[in-house]
Structure 1
């Protein structure tokens, strides 16, 4: 999609197309290892893939300024894995649970809602929903065969660690320490399943994706062993990413709908989809990790993207997948399969184009 008279914007699009990820199209390295676990440095048995892996497409994206689409490139209707962008969807579902009264307060202890024994230990019994959503829970245990230890000392974004990823460390008090940990995110997802008493993909489809005009091509894959029994029924619990396969497989166009919904305060065509105030709650900085909100990345101190406004916030997934919301410039941008190291230059080019 080339735009007449917008050479700088067309140049930004051309840059995004040329700056694609170096991940293999098959999603597997020559030695047969899944690229995600390879990139994170995991070894057997920690790197065992439990869910489906979808071969990837090429770079794609969209840019909206307000309600107007000002750029589009690549196959925006191809459904691809999104990895940790799924975490930001979990945050939207948590908002629905809160609005429905299924969760009374984010500061309630999850133990009071659990249908299993995952929050009965001394380490876990005081964990709140807010702790899980800010990745400060320090939850300890195993979820569908994956132990939280696998992501101990994991470095993502601006986080730091004292030892190699996967090295067991002493646990800290919930709420006092931030660690990006996919096992704990999967624990959050399982806990949300237990309060909805309905598979999360069904909730997402009925309550969010269908009302905002989403396609029928997206899906949310689970693991081969990620089932829970609720009310006598076996239900699939889905992961908050594609770390070990599975996760949300969705198109760039559908991602843009989600981004625009959040940018509009949870309202779509005059109808409230997300509880009032929830999108503001998503972007409140976590006290111990001010670069993170509720499963959304913030641009505090412009540490994510120096060229972007500090009010910008992001759903981010390895690969890389980016949903960038910039309230200051009224932008919603989706990037698929861009080299993460080159994404900052795209941001700079795009902002230069719209301000030219």
Structure 2
């Protein structure tokens, strides 16, 4: 009798365990559709009062005033600002579209709902290197779809037109491109890798003739190589990357129809007999993503929710985990997302789980999972972002 009781108890325990496991599985895939708020594609984006958000009105006002008072100091004429900002680059010119910028603007989401906004959040503006985080996402979609086997796969196995030939370039894998540690050497769309962001000190000819670094060992912020990633992904997807982003991400999250993603006037290539533009991963030669603040916030919310939008997994949690993990060459950088770690850790913000997209002129999408926050701020003096985030977090 005692043995029978134990056996029944064990069976009951196993049954409860199985049911709990199933419940956990359902919770993982459906939690955001059941509990979390997601803005509809049309209609009003729900707001939450500062009080209901658990925030301090005075401190939140201070944060917003700080953003407005610390506008990016360069001209609103972005052609002038870009050329000035990259004047040390030999051969630098504007090859893609540029638009005069607006003033400071931003949104703060708590639990997906708007708790604060400032400026013209409907205005479509350039976003510069925030584009890189969108590009990284298109790469993630390719991995999720099985179009690329793994981040460690050699790019030359997918792009075999000579772009990755040679002793050095043939070593480069997707992980190297995504972490900006490939040190790819060459010319793309008439732009030379060594001429992009040369060191501020020393002779440019020395930089041009430098010894190449082993792929994966040295981080170098370089738009030519980022554009190389976009070109390589175009070869994999075999259709324009803005179409991929629109179909897989932006339409499902209810983004507006106003955003655009541009390349250069001469970055058109032929794929399967069709002429397509290879887009740029930033705007320092023009182009990149032009977008409004609301759409940025939707994109940030998708990442706050681990790639899940209202119960549908648009991009895998596995990919997002990789994207926000420190790379070997730079503890502050993942797959084209910046991390609040290492040399880029913000003073007064000790949470290393924060990650963010950052672009020239003070464009930021900050994802703060600890506080269930998304902070989008535009045209903030770039050096002030850490202080801005600290002020917002203090309000909560």
Is TM-score (shorter-chain normalized) higher than 0.5? yes
Deviation at 1:154, TM superposition (A): 4.8
TM-score, scaled to structure 2: 0.83
1:326 corresponds to 2:368? yes
Distance in 1, Cα, partners of 2:343 & 2:297 = 23
Distance in 1, Cα, partners of 2:359 & 2:140 = 21
2:283 corresponds to: 242
Distance in 1, Cα, partners of 2:160 & 2:265 = 21
1:183 corresponds to 2:229? no
1:22 corresponds to 2:68? no
For residue 213 of structure 1, give the secondary structure of its aligned residue in structure 2.
coil
1:42 corresponds to 2:88? yes
Q: Deviations over 1:28-59 (max 9, x none)?
A: 33xxxxx2232133355x21110000110111
Q: Deviations over 1:90-119 (max 9, x none)?
A: 111111000111101110000000052100
Cα distance change of structure 1 residues 301 and 328 upon mapping to structure 2, 3 Å threshold: farther
Distance in 1, Cα, partners of 2:187 & 2:89 = 18
2:28 corresponds to: none
1:347 corresponds to 2:389? yes
For residue 215 of structure 1, give the secondary structure of its aligned residue in structure 2.
coil
2:98 corresponds to: 53
Distance in 2, Cα, partners of 1:114 & 1:279 = 25
Question: Contact 1:265–1:277 at 8 Å: present in 2 too?
Answer: no
Q: How does 1:168-179 map to 2 (within 5 A)?
A: 168=208, 169-179=210-220
Cα distance change of structure 1 residues 43 and 274 upon mapping to structure 2, 3 Å threshold: closer
> Paired residue for 2:317, among 256, 264, 276?
276
Q: How many residues align?
A: 342
Q: Deviations over 1:258-290 (max 9, x none)?
A: 111011110001011002311111111111211
Q: Structure 1: any 5+ residue segments left out of the alignment?
A: 30-34, 156-161
For residue 107 of structure 1, give the secondary structure of its aligned residue in structure 2.
coil
1:225 corresponds to 2:270? no
Distance in 2, Cα, partners of 1:218 & 1:16 = 24
TM-score, scaled to structure 1: 0.92
Q: How does 1:126-165 map to 2 (within 5 A)?
A: 126-151=171-196, 153-154=198-199, 163=202
Distance in 2, Cα, partners of 1:249 & 1:10 = 28
> Paired residue for 1:84, among 106, 126, 129?
129
Q: Structure 2: any 5+ residue segments left out of the alignment?
A: 1-46
Deviation at 1:342, TM superposition (A): 2.2
Question: Contact 2:86–2:197 at 8 Å: present in 1 too?
Answer: no
2:19 corresponds to: none
2:113 corresponds to: 68
Cα distance change of structure 1 residues 126 and 302 upon mapping to structure 2, 3 Å threshold: closer
> Paired residue for 2:304, among 263, 275, 285?
263
Deviation at 1:325, TM superposition (A): 0.8
For residue 383 of structure 2, give the secondary structure of its aligned residue in structure 1.
coil
Cα distance change of structure 1 residues 302 and 37 upon mapping to structure 2, 3 Å threshold: same
Distance in 2, Cα, partners of 1:95 & 1:191 = 13
> Paired residue for 1:296, among 337, 360, 368?
337
Distance in 2, Cα, partners of 1:28 & 1:96 = 33
Distance in 2, Cα, partners of 1:14 & 1:297 = 25
For residue 79 of structure 2, give the secondary structure of its aligned residue in structure 1.
coil
Cα distance change of structure 1 residues 13 and 132 upon mapping to structure 2, 3 Å threshold: same
Distance in 1, Cα, partners of 2:380 & 2:341 = 22
Deviation at 1:86, TM superposition (A): 0.6
